[in-house]
Amino acid sequence: MHLAYPAVLAVLLFCTGLYGVLARRNAILVLMSVELMLNAVNLNLVAFDVWLRDALHAGQALTLFTIAIAAAEIGIGLAIVLMVYRNRGTSDIDKLRDNAETAGPDDAGPDEKAEATA
Amino acid sequence: MSLAAAQGFLSPTGVEIAFLLVGIATLGAAVVTVTTKQLVHAALWLVVALGGLAVEYLLLTAEFVAWVQVLIYVGSVVVLLLFGLMLTKAPIGRSPDADSGNRPAALVVALAAAAALVWVVVDAFRTAWIDLDGPAQGSTKVSGTILFRHWVLPFEALSVLLLAALVGAIVLSRKDRTTDREGQR
Amino acid sequence: MTTPTLAVLVPLLPFLGSAAGLLLGRTAPGFVRPLAVLPTVAAFALAVLVAVRQGGGKAIDAATQLTPTGSVPIDLALHLDGFAALAAVLVGLVASCVQIYSTGYLRGDPRYPSYAALISLFTSAMLLVVYSGDLMVLLVGWEIMGICSYFLVGHYWETPEARAASLKAFLVTKLGDVPFLIGLFALAADAGTFRITGILGAVAAGGIDHPTLVALLLLAGVAGKSAQFPLHTWLPDAMAGPTPVSALIHAATMVAAGVYFVARLLPVFAASAAAMTVLAVMAAVTMVGSGLAALAQDDIKRVLAYSTIGQLGYMSGALAVGDRGAAVFHLLSHGAFKALLFLAAGVIIHAAGTNSLAAMSRMRGLTKRVPDAYWTMTVALLALAAIPPFAGFFSKEAVLVAAEHTALGDRDVAPAGAGWIVLVAGMVTALLTAAYATRLWLLAFRGRGAEAPGLHQAPDPARAGETPSRQPLVMNAVLWVLAVPSLAFGLTVGPIDDWFDGHALTPTVTTAVLGTGIALVGGLVTYATWRHTTAMAARFPLGAVAPHPQEEPAVSQAEVIAPDPADPGRLLLGPLHRHAAAGFHLDAVYSALFVRPVRAAASLVSFLDREVVETYVRGAGSGTNLLGWAVRRAQTGNVQTYLSALLAGSVVLAIAAVLVAAGA
């Protein structure tokens, strides 16, 4: 089998996940997209492991580890999302803007109003 | 490797055809996952995508990884995600605001990244050939052997990590008395 | 001890006293008075001793060099001749009197310690100028006097006119000091030394290349220090200082320094006929103008200030005709009687509670209140008016005799024209001097009207501390001490010329009769006018006088003079009175010539600073603000935006890296 097939598939899956992370509004959907990206990486690891015929099978071992870590990550992530939801009543990422730079008192920027209300 | 020159892209083997078809299905499911307006459907499409990946692992002779993929991802992660959706009272049905205003930028970045990566990957591995003959490289026996012979220390460390994650998740999601009272106010 | 050692101690003692007074002034107030008085008195005693030892004989020179100073050496040098010895005695006497007088006059003043220390420093600087045999060392004393006069004139710095007067004194004298310094350097460059003996030797050998230029530059500094036209304007305003300071500045130290300097370097000036003529014209203008101005002043201290300017004009006149003996003789006698005049005026101002002559002319019984001041001031005014046999008569006659000899060609040190100028101006000034002396006496002591107000009333809250309920004994004692030389100093005219250049200083019959006659005429005319005006004024109701005595002198003066018909000066001067009262508007001329251009330049600079320089500053600030605003716009708080930007950047970088790698 050509190595290009799994490699290209991994790239496309990764970019799909990338799009999801950047475009989705719901935090849980963002987590799903993160899972897609992780799986793309896993696919790469397995394909290259098989291609290289690694004696230690480092690729597959790392895949297993990644899966375990992803499970832990999804657990923690969901816990965080739940807590945010409980505290804020929403899990929309673009509503969590506490770190936004608010207009200072001496600021004379033309669009500060619009920015503050956004 | 020398076989790669003999094997052209225009004369695919049976495994390659299977891989290609399953890959298209997987990619399609992934795209639907990140674009659908129905949140629960997204989780279900994710099951399809992850399952497709498990099939791809099988095609790459990595049996053990494939089963782990099915067990962990499809079995637990997606269930967790569904619980998460449920607990955050995600709307059932189409929600028009599933995508944020960042979507065009996300599309541009994703397409640019895809183009660049595909170009680089194809350019680099055009001639690489995976020899799938011989004994399976990812059978349970092989995986177990290398895992507990060579990778036992990271394996144990990982168990500590999982424990920490477990404790962390409990602490984070536990309903604290004070926060509870504030939440109900 | 040798005479030079004693002479070194003379300036050193007041300096040490001043340093100790400044150091101990706060911690040990009990030592302040002894530290102020004793070193000065000791310096006076030593100065007398030095004068006795020197005895008017050959000049004593002593010098030591502290460190090599390049091509033109600067020595710590003494040059003790008759002029120096006698001038030092005068300085010591006046300074001692002022210090003793100040213990009474300024008792209770919170700033007395620093005041006394500055007086000591001032005295020390003047003694340094007097004894110094090196022009650089002389310049040190010269400049210390400048800064001390700034501090002392501004003693009552709470009042705006004192601040303005101190600044004015400093700036005007500095205006003269700059050309003075350049002149000193030019002189030293020509002569190759700063030593006075060396310079005089170079002059005698004809070694000075540009005598006129050097002399004119030096004259500028002299005019500033000695308050000669046109740099005299600081002196009347310096009356804002305490009265003892006025006495010190006017009688012995600051203003005398200029005349004394010219006397020391007279051969340098005599080498240039043009400089002598300029000096003569300067002296003549100063004499006549100040005489007219003094006749129109209302503030008693300003009258005395203008009279000082006039008497300094006499000294300059004597120098202009090349007779430094007469000049220093007049300097000595004037120092005595002018110090007496100021100190007595201080007592009178205490008693009357006002500076204004017009106000005093409405007071009865002032003479009974301050009999000592009355008698001593009478003596001093007679000396000022040059009535024989008082001191001023002899010294002034010496000047007039020298001028007459020069005019008639008997002496050839100075051009004959200078002699005529000085002679005529001196005669006119004798008339004016007698007139304003008489006017001062009549208005101050022959007042009629209400009883003088109680002594407990302070003229000004700021000066309440200096108004004692009773005239202290020390103040009156000092007056009598100074009255002795005012009365009898002229009698030394016979022996004293040995101390100077040896020209006879005795009056000749012509000038004596002429001068005394003119003075008598001036006095009598003033008296007659006074009788006339008081008779006229008796018919008018007496209005309030000096409604704002604590205002600026010019203001209160304008308020007082206008309604005062009893002033003989008004009648005598006629239409000239208004201009004379304002000092012939010289301050206005200065304002138009210097102050306004400087202010215009300053406003131009401030405009440039505000509109041009600050634009850049503001531009830098608002540019940064704008950038900050733009950057803050990026901080939306949306994590996805951040991540998009981050990944887009990564993609761009990766593509760039790949392209570079592919290209390579």
Partners of C363 in the β-ladder? C450
Q: Give yes or no for A82 touching B (CB within 8 A).
A: yes
Those of residues 114-143 in B touching chain A at CB distance below 8 A are 114, 117-118, 121-122, 125-126, 128-132, 137-138, 142-143
- Angle formed at CA C553 by CA C549 and CA C558, multiple of 5 degrees: 85
- From CA C122, how far away is CA C116, in angstroms rounded? 10
**Reduced to 3 states, what is the DSSP secondary structure of residue C362?**
coil
Q: pLDDT per residue over C202-228, tens digit each?
A: 888 877 777 888 888 888 888 888 888
Q: Do C647 and A18 touch (CB under 8 A)?
A: yes
Separation of CA C209 from chain center: 32
Q: Which of B125, B131, B145 to mutate to test the interface with A (most CBs of A within 10 A)?
A: B125
Compute how many other C-beta atoms are within 10 angstroms of the C-beta atom of residue B25.
15
Long-range contacts of C421-424 (CB under 8 A, 24+ apart): C421/C277, C421/C280, C421/C281, C421/C283, C421/C284, C421/C320, C422/C280, C422/C283, C422/C284, C422/C317, C422/C318, C422/C320, C422/C321, C424/C284
Q: What is the pTM of this model?
A: 0.64
- In this complex, the residue of B102, B106, B116 whose CB is nearest that of residue C651 is B116
Q: Which domains does chain B have, with CATH numbers?
A: 11-135 (1.20.120.1200)
Which residues of C are less than 8 Å from A115 in CB distance? Answer: 633, 636
Q: Do A97 and C637 touch (CB under 8 A)?
A: yes
Q: Taking the alpha carbons of C238, C239, C242, C247 in that order, is the dihedral positive or negative? A: positive
Out of A101-110, B15-24, B161-170, C384-393, least confident range = A101-110
CA dist B114 to A11, A19, B48, C414, Å?
6, 10, 22, 109
Chains that touch B (3 or more CB pairs under 8 A): A, C
What is the CATH number assigned to the segment(s) A4-97?
Answer: 1.10.287.3510
pLDDT of B26 strictly over 70:
yes
Of the two residues C541 and A83, the one the predictor is more confident about is A83
CA dist C413 to A89, C203, C210, Å?
111, 14, 18
Select from C152, C186, C334 the least CA-distant residue to C265.
Answer: C186
Which residues of A are less than 8 Å from B7 in CB distance? Answer: 2
Select from A29, A77, A81 the least CA-distant residue to B46.
Answer: A29
Q: Give residue for tokens 């006749």.
A: C295
Select from B99, B173, B160, B31 the least CA-distant residue to A77.
Answer: B173
Classify residue B152 as exposed, middle or buried by CB count within 10 Å of its CB (0-12, 13-18, 19+). Answer: exposed
- From CA C212, how far away is CA C99, in angstroms rounded? 41
Question: Where are the domains positioned within chain A?
Answer: 4-97
pLDDT of B7 strictly over 70:
no
Partners of C61 in the β-ladder? C79
pLDDT > 90: percent of chain B: 39
Which residues of C are less than 8 Å from A96 in CB distance? Answer: 637, 639
Separation of CA A71 from chain center: 14
Q: Do B125 and A4 touch (CB under 8 A)?
A: yes
Closest-CA distance, C656 to chain A, in angstroms, reads 19
Q: Which helix (H) or strand (E) holds B2?
A: none
Q: Which of B173, B176, B177, B182 to mutate to test the interface with A (most CBs of A within 10 A)?
A: B173
Number of residues assigned to chain C? 664
Q: Give residue for tokens 């639907």.
A: B32
pLDDT category of residue A13 using cuts at 50, 70 and 90: very high
Q: Do C640 and A118 touch (CB under 8 A)?
A: no
Select from C181, C557, C596 the least CA-distant residue to C357.
Answer: C557
Select from C131, C172, C178, C179 the least CA-distant residue to C153.
Answer: C172
- In this complex, the residue of B53, B117, B126 whose CB is nearest that of residue A11 is B117
Q: Do B105 and C648 touch (CB under 8 A)?
A: yes
- The per-residue pLDDT for B177 is 60
Q: Give residue for tokens 């008997």.
A: C410
Q: Which residues of chain C are at the A interface, by a Cβ-Cβ cutoff of 8 Å?
A: 625, 629, 632-633, 635-640, 643-644, 647
Q: Which residues of chain C have pLDDT under 70?
A: 1, 56, 449-471, 493-494, 497-498, 501-504, 537-567, 569, 571, 574, 664
Q: Give yes or no for A8 touching C (CB within 8 A).
A: no
Q: Are strands C76-80 and C363-364 parallel, antiparallel or unpaired?
A: unpaired
Closest alpha carbon within chain B to A23: B103
- Mean pLDDT value across residues B114-140: 85
- The per-residue pLDDT for C73 is 76
DSSP sequence for C582-625? TGGGHHHHHIIIIIHHHHHHHHHHHHHIIIIIHHHHHHHHHHHH
Residue type, B168: G
Q: Do C632 and A108 touch (CB under 8 A)?
A: no
- The per-residue pLDDT for C462 is 42
Q: pLDDT per residue over A45-79, tens digit each?
A: 999 998 988 888 899 999 999 999 999 999 999 99
Q: Are strands C363-364 and C450-451 parallel, antiparallel or unpaired?
A: parallel
Residue type, C83: F
- The per-residue pLDDT for B91 is 81
- In this complex, the residue of C629, C638, C644 whose CB is nearest that of residue A97 is C638
- From CA C81, how far away is CA C198, in angstroms rounded? 15
Which residues of A are less than 8 Å from C625 in CB distance? Answer: 107-108
Q: Print the SS3 string covering C479-547.
A: HHHHHHHHHHHHHHHHHHCCCCCCCCCCCCHHHHHHHHHHHHHHHHHHHHHHHHHHHHHCCCCCCCCCC
For C450, phi then psi, to 5°, come to: -70, 160
For A13, phi then psi, to 5°, come to: -60, -40
- From CA C568, how far away is CA C310, in angstroms rounded? 20
Q: Which of C650, C653, C655, C660 to mutate to test the interface with B (most CBs of B within 10 A)?
A: C655
The CA dihedral of C101, C103, C109, C113, to the nearest 10 degrees, is 120
- From CA C352, how far away is CA C369, in angstroms rounded? 9
Q: Give yes or no for C2 touching B (CB within 8 A).
A: no
Q: Give yes or no for B50 touching A (CB within 8 A).
A: yes
pLDDT, mean over chain C:
79
Tell me C454's DSSP state.
Answer: P
Q: What is the ipTM of this complex?
A: 0.86
Which residues of C are less than 8 Å from B102 in CB distance? Answer: 638, 640-641, 644
Q: Which of B97, B102, B108 to mutate to test the interface with C (most CBs of C within 10 A)?
A: B102
Residue pairs spanning A and C at CB distance below 8 A: 39
